[in-house]
Amino acid sequence: MQAANRLQKSLRKREPAFGAWQMLPGTNLARVICRSSPSPDWLLVDLEHGNISDDSMHEIVAASAACGVSPIVRVPEGQSWMIKRALDSGAHGILVPVLETVQDAKNIVQYSKLPPVGTRGLESLLAVEKLVEQHPHGGKVKQLTGAKYAQQANDSLVIAVQIETKSALENVKEIAAVPGIDVLFIGPFDLGINIGRPISSPDQMDPELVDAIQSIHDAAQSAGKATGIYCDTGEQAREYANRGFHMVSAITDMIGIRKVFNQAFTATK
């Protein structure tokens, strides 16, 4: 399982893993994103703010995994049934938004791990296919059995939590120390709003927000955890990667589509 999880391999090597953000449904869109470049390591399937249903999530997870890109599902909330649905689809990891407390972080780990570590129920029939070891352009297939999934899932799936509220920021060191949390992921726009420093321009963040982002990164590093952050552009993503961030988004489908169409129609004038 670990060999098939491209995001986790990068995180364990402490190398930057660049990803794309999908808000619109469709497996064709997922494949276009994943095959747009050799660079995408992960695809975020956004169930919190995106227009993606449960069945669409299953299909997008399968499509991105078949492209050799790790599907990561952002669940709407940290509820046990939402986490279960995401992981049972075969997602290589989850991103949980709106974290508030240390207990929230502990609950997320509990819901994500199989016994005896956690309380997640086992149903691997749909999940195993998305974690086979196979080069996306052919080669020998190393199948994964349900028994092996059960043995390896706790150590092979990425658990990322979003630090985007004032409460989570205040408790960030304690949250980072929770066993089983792999990534502290920063949602800069929500974090800015929640601490009273909203972003008017990504290139002109308030100094207090800049300091908050750095404090989250420092807490993650001190705890031996990875740091992630949402970015709108590849240039922003490279900047944060150069600063030691690990799980970094480079583009969102809706932003990218709007930008390309705008460029095309501007060129017609």
d(CA 221, CA 245): 10
**Residue partners of 26: CB distance under 8 A and separation at least 6:** 56, 60
Is residue 90 a contact partner of residue 64, using CB atoms and an 8 Å limit? no
Residue of 49, 92, 135, 137 with catalytic role:
49
> What single-letter amino acid sits at 58?
H
pLDDT of residue 129: 87
Q: What is the pLDDT of residues 109-162, one digit of tens each?
A: 999 999 999 999 988 888 998 988 666 556 666 778 889 999 999 999 999 999
Mean of per-residue pLDDT scores for the chain = 94
**Residue partners of 25: CB distance under 8 A and separation at least 6:** 50, 51, 52, 53, 56, 60
Does position 204 have pLDDT exceeding 80, yes or no?
yes
pLDDT of residue 180: 98
What b/e sequence results for 204-240 when a residue is b if at least 16 CB atoms lie within 10 Å of its CB, and e otherwise?
Answer: ebeeebeebbeebbebbbebebbbbbbbbbeebbeeb
Rounded to 10°, the helix 80-88/54-66 angle is: 40
d(CA 16, CA 10): 7
% of the chain residues with pLDDT over 90: 86
Give the global pTM: 0.94
Q: Identify the weakest region by mean pLDDT among 98-107, 162-171, 197-206.
A: 197-206
pLDDT of residue 37: 93
For residues 192-220, average pLDDT? 93
Residue 157 per-residue DSSP state? S
pLDDT of residue 144: 83
Q: How many other C-beta atoms can be found within 10 angstroms of the C-beta atom of residue 147? A: 10
- Phi, psi of 20, rounded to the nearest 5 degrees: -115, 160
**Residue partners of 234: CB distance under 8 A and separation at least 6:** 18, 250, 251
Alpha-carbon distance values, 35 to 29, 40, 43, 133, 184 (Å): 10, 8, 11, 18, 27
Domain boundary assignment for the chain: 2-267
Does position 87 have pLDDT exceeding 70, yes or no?
yes
For residues 13-18, average pLDDT? 96
Stronger pLDDT, 133 or 207, i.e. the higher one: 207
Q: Is 49 one of the annotated active-site residues of the chain? A: yes
Residue 10 per-residue DSSP state? H
Does position 222 have pLDDT exceeding 60, yes or no?
yes
Q: What is the pLDDT of residues 147-195, one digit of tens each?
A: 999 999 999 999 999 999 999 999 999 999 999 999 999 999 999 999 9
% of the chain residues with pLDDT over 70: 96
CATH H-level superfamily of 2-267: Phosphoenolpyruvate-binding domains (3.20.20.60)
d(CA 137, CA 135): 5
